[in-house]
Amino acid sequence: MSKQEIGMPGPADGCSPGLLTAPLDEDQAVELARVFKALGDPVRLRLLSMIASRAGGEVCVCDLTPAFDLSQPTISHHLKLLREAGLIASQRRGTWVYYRLLPEMTDRLAGILTRPAGRPVGSPAGAEA
Amino acid sequence: MSKQEIGMPGPADGCSPGLLTAPLDEDQAVELARVFKALGDPVRLRLLSMIASRAGGEVCVCDLTPAFDLSQPTISHHLKLLREAGLIASQRRGTWVYYRLLPEMTDRLAGILTRPAGRPVGSPAGAEA
């Protein structure tokens, strides 16, 4: 299995297949599922939304932890899963770690979930089992 | 917790907060995580892509099962999770169940993952913990 950066269909170029236009192959599905799985948790979604919406684009972990009734190690574990999925990046500066969104990944997810313009879902052939 | 149809932020109207523009509240995060969790599995992603890309917009479960080394009950279980997440609908006709995409849900997901036009991620204030 190729393991480039994230081997998922990349519709950002406007021609690669998305989730809705052609059946995914197994490798694509495994890689993509990993990212969706990272999003499949309420704490991680809240963390991601806090990071993505922060003015300045960067959040100290020390500003994230107080929003949750969870220990800092637990928060750090959730942040690690978001980072491993390619959704956020981190940088340690002094005592604290700072997080920022990697919008390339959310752009890719948005792209593969977007119906192709002018072509209703289900119109192309090619979904043979 | 409100449990309308799916109580997630709905940016389809262009003004509701998405995942990237404001911190999600707990209820929104729980509902949205449920949908992403349904997508966080390779078999379910492949099933969804097969259903979404099928010419005619509808697939018989009998055409889905042969693509996998899995039993029909296992496939049916995955399809049930996709259905419960609001991603697909099903209809029994005679012996078989037929599945189709509910594009409203993938549209919503694409919308909340899309950066607001003309406004870089992180520019709005409002990410207080």
* A-chain residue closest to B68, CA distance: A129
Q: What pLDDT score does B17 carry?
A: 53
Helix B26-39 × helix A26-39 angle, to 10°: 170
Count of residues making up chain B: 129
Pick out chain B residues at pLDDT < 50. 1-16, 123-129
Q: What is the pLDDT of residues A43-71, one digit of tens each?
A: 999 999 999 999 888 999 999 999 999 99
Q: What pLDDT score does B115 carry?
A: 86
| Reported ipTM exceeds the 0.85 cut | no
Q: Global pTM?
A: 0.82
Q: In what order do the strands lie in the sheet with B96-101?
A: B59-60, B96-101, B88-93
- Report the 10 Å Cβ neighbour count for B73: 7
Helix (H, G, I), strand (E, B) or coil at B43: helix
How far does the CA of residue B3 sit from the closest CA of chain A (Å)? 16
Q: What pLDDT score does B57 carry?
A: 87
Site from A16, A30, A36 to mutate, B interface, most B CB atoms within 10 angstroms: A36
Q: Where does the pLDDT of residue A119 fall: very low under 50, low under 70, confident under 90, or very high at 90 and above? A: low
Q: Do A53 and B114 touch (CB under 8 A)?
A: no
Q: What pLDDT score does A109 carry?
A: 96
